[in-house]
């Protein structure tokens, strides 16, 4: 397998749930290549299949049609894939250190390296004195930091992130974006990142893909013009940043309006059927 081959290759991919009147198309005709080490952000209305697509990439869901090829490099001593969700997902019966150790035990990483990796990552987020604490003893921002480093600590070839910072306040969100960029700069794995936040997508991504309303397809692709390393605060001072925000916003708004009209029509149709 060539190191230059895309790590993700999608050709006409689709995912359908249910049958007959209960049939729901999550996404269809999804064609996309993602290069190794690339940071790709997905935007789109609710219900356009972003999370379902991540689950297909992770092997949690099976696509209905098309082809999906994952080109992991063999024998790297790293995990193939890691996921980060909206909720931190830490195991409440383990301490912070225990959660990291559990993730490492489930990975192909040499056990002799586990202690060093845990020390490195806990120190990286400034939580050394909290390593023996349990998740319920920490703030939401702290737990999400642990969730983030838990994924990076197994050195995955591919990381799938589903709105991991959505429930954080503005300051914590920016802080986690900075941390994510720093860790990614160190390890250079491929990241596919789902978000509804346009600013976040521009701050993090090499490319921003806007999906259509349901069923989801790739409507427009934007290349982010900012060099790395990036400072989320400094980027906002660049006129190109605001121009890109406006440009992407117009595309997203169009699809959100379509999704809203579709919902209204479906509700009206359901009401008519019920009345008859």
Which domains, from first to last, does the chain contain?
A: 1-73+159-178+189-276 (3.40.50.300)
Between 22 and 175, the higher pLDDT residue? 175
Check if the beta carbon of residue 85 is closer than 8 Å to that of residue 164: yes
Between 25 and 219, the higher pLDDT residue? 219
Mean pLDDT confidence for 3-11: 86
- DSSP letter string, 187-224: H--EEEEE-S-HHHHHHH-SEEEEEPSSSB-EEEEEE-
Query: What number of other Cβ atoms are within 10 A of residue 18's Cβ?
Result: 9
What proportion of the chain, given as a percentage, has pLDDT over 90?
Answer: 54
Predicted pLDDT of residue 2 = 58
Predicted pLDDT of residue 262 = 59
Half-sphere exposure of 260 (CA within 13 A, CB side): 6
Q: What is the mean pLDDT of the chain?
A: 87
Closest among 119, 193, 183, 178 to 155, alpha carbons compared: 183
Predicted pLDDT of residue 254 = 86
C-alpha–C-alpha distance, residues 84 and 80, integer Å: 14
């Amino acid at each position: 397998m060539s190191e230059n081959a895309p790590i993700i290759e999608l050709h006409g991919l689709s995912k359908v749930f249910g049958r007959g009147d209960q049939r729901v198309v999550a996404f269809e005709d999804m064609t996309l290549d993602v290069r190794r080490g690339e940071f790709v952000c997905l935007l789109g209305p609710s219900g356009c299949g972003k999370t379902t697509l991540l689950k297909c990439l992770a092997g949690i869901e099976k696509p209905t049609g098309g082809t999906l090829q994952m080109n992991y490099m063999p024998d790297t001593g790293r995990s193939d894939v890691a996921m980060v969700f909206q909720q931190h997902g830490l195991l409440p019966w383990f301490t912070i250190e225990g959660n990291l150790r559990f993730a490492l035990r489930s990975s192909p990483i040499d056990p002799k390296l586990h202690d060093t990796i845990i020390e490195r990552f806990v120190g990286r987020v400034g939580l050394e004195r909290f390593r023996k604490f349990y998740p319920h003893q920490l703030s939401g921002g702290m737990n999400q930091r642990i969730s983030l480093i838990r994924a990076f600590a197994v050195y995955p070839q591919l990381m799938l992130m589903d709105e991991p910072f959505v429930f954080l306040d503005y300051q914590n969100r920016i802080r986690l974006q900075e941390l994510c960029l720093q860790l990614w700069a160190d390890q250079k794995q491929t990241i596919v990142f789902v978000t509804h936040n346009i600013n976040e997508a521009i701050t993090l991504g090499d490319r921003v893909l806007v999906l259509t309303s349901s069923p989801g397809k790739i409507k427009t692709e934007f290349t982010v013009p900012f060099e790395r390393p990036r400072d989320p605060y400094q980027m906002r001072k660049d006129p190109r940043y605001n121009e890109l925000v406006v440009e992407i916003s117009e595309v997203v708004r169009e699809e959100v309006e379509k999704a809203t009209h579709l919902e209204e029509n479906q509700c009206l149709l359901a009401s008519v059927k019920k009345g008859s």
